Amino acid sequence: MKRKREKFVPTREYMMFLSRLRLARMKFRCSQRELARRLGIHHSRIVRSENAERPLTIIEVRAVCQALQISVVDFTRELEAALNASENSTDTSSTAAPWNQTPPEEE
């Protein structure tokens, strides 16, 4: 029996990550179609990923960074700084990282 996939629900932090990744693509003056061509994938995967309909793996993020000629380490550092700045300016009690949240009860 197939297991039904849970719908991906992005956190505020994940949305900040996507925003930074989209900004990096735009700074490189690269369209979604061009990025998809560089990665050898259909452009709909880029669209779904940027719209938070499909989560990205770290391997995919690395490939995107390489396609945009940016260091994944630098991208991650900048993201971490932005997340820290955001956490310091807002109450984060309701936006705990998923691994810090209590798992839902089994049915």
What total of structural domains would you count in the chain?
A: 1
Residue 67 falls within a domain, yes or no? yes
Does 100 map to a domain? no
Q: How much is the pTM?
A: 0.74
94 in any annotated domain: no
Calpha distance 37→32 (Å, rounded)? 9
Nearest to 82, CA basis, from 18, 22, 17, 11: 17
Per-residue pLDDT tens for 14-59?
999 999 999 999 999 999 999 999 999 999 999 999 999 999 999 9
**Segment 52-95, tens digit of pLDDT:** 999 999 999 999 999 999 999 999 999 999 999 988 886 544 44
pLDDT at 103 over 90: no
